[in-house]
Structure 1
Amino acid sequence: MLEGCKTAQERWGGVHIIIDRWLEQRRQLLETGIYLRERGDLTPTDTPKIQTFCELLVDYVSAGHFTVYEQLALEAKEFHDDGAAKLLRELLPLIDTSTEVAIEFNDKYDTKEHCNAQLEALPFSLQALAVVMAERFQYEDQLIKELHEAHSEKSV
């Protein structure tokens, strides 16, 4: 029994690290977004910060899709949790919609030229993105709570 516990901890303990790292990326993304929103009138000198925000945004959504959700799906499969797999299938399309909005935002502001050409629209774009990302964060938090935390309790 102890051996089974060690195996589960070894197998799924790394998921905690992945999720922690991902949530740290979220924190950095939020801090940078808040800085830009509170900055007010943005000028071309703000372009590097805007580009950093775009990089953080793409890194965050990519980590979700290519690492975190994948790990949560593996946990659901490993624990034969049909309810968790169903939740994942329900929420991923909703999350995908926000990914499209994030990529569109990135494409609009990712380069100095793109950014400087559309600085006046940036506050509106940031506000629209903030609404979509807040909804995404709720879905992601639900996935973590329902999938990973439930499986963590079973593996102990």
Structure 2
Amino acid sequence: MLTKLEKAEKRWGGANNLIDQWLDNRRKLLVQYFIVAGLAPYSRSEKSLPSMDQVKQFCDQLVDYVSEGHFEVYNNVLKACEKFGESSIETSNALLPLISESTDIALDFHDKYTDTADEQVLYQLDNDLSHLAQAMESRFELEDQLLEILYKRNA
């Protein structure tokens, strides 16, 4: 996921302040994910779980990222697509419902790990993180298709 982000930053970075901010927030989300998942370079000692505070920080970053997409970025992308013609509108309208599927998964993850004080829930974290990572990777690919529409029209 990080390699794909770096490619996205190289391709679209500097084209638009909102896009730059969005990609930067994607990077912050991925760093938090690596910390919570115990992935390099943030590896934890074997059999160690992250703290609930670390998980909640990740959940906050996750909701911020998802919200930013829905309430800021996608609206601007849709407005731009309206200027680029019918095919851009159709593509963006086809992508947004697919992106929303990952939103539901992200919000369910957030609710599960922030609405409890029971640290036993952390024993389910690896499986839940794996499921979330698959959804977010799909989301990033779909979001990148939206960014590509903007890039092609602005290039």
The normalised TM-score by structure 2 is: 0.81
Are residue 128 (structure 1) and residue 131 (structure 2) matched?
yes
* Number of aligned residue pairs: 135
Are residue 149 (structure 1) and residue 151 (structure 2) matched?
yes
Q: Which amino acid aligns with 2:63?
A: V
CA distance in 1, matches of 2:136, 2:15: 23
Q: Is the 8 A contact 1:47 1:112 kept in 2?
A: no
Residue of structure 1 equivalent to 2:87: 83
Cα offset, 1:34, TM superposition: 1.1
Q: Which amino acid aligns with 2:17?
A: I
Cα offset, 1:112, TM superposition: 5.7
Are residue 57 (structure 1) and residue 83 (structure 2) matched?
no
CA distance in 2, matches of 1:126, 1:109: 11
Q: Which amino acid aligns with 2:49?
A: L
SS of the residue corresponding to residue 16 of structure 2 reads: helix
Cα offset, 1:37, TM superposition: 1.2
Are residue 41 (structure 1) and residue 48 (structure 2) matched?
yes
Q: Which amino acid aligns with 1:136?
A: R
The root-mean-square deviation of aligned C-alpha atoms, in Å, is: 1.7
Residue of structure 1 equivalent to 2:73: 68
Residue of structure 2 equivalent to 1:110: 114
CA distance in 2, matches of 1:64, 1:108: 21
Are residue 92 (structure 1) and residue 96 (structure 2) matched?
yes
The normalised TM-score by structure 1 is: 0.81
Residue of structure 1 equivalent to 2:17: 17
The runs of at least 4 aligned residues of structure 1 exceeding 2 Å deviation read none
Where structure 2 has 5 or more consecutive residues not aligned to the other structure, the ranges are 1-13, 39-43
CA distance in 1, matches of 2:23, 2:122: 29
Give 1 or 2: higher helix fraction: 1
Cα offset, 1:152, TM superposition: 1.4
Relative contact order, higher structure (CA 8 A, sep 6+):
1
After superposition, give the CA deviation of every residue in 1:51-84 in whole Å (9 maximum; x if it has no partner): 11001000001000111110010011123x1111
Where structure 1 has 5 or more consecutive residues not aligned to the other structure, the ranges are 1-13
Cα offset, 1:41, TM superposition: 2.5
CA distance in 1, matches of 2:152, 2:71: 21
Q: Which amino acid aligns with 2:120?
A: A
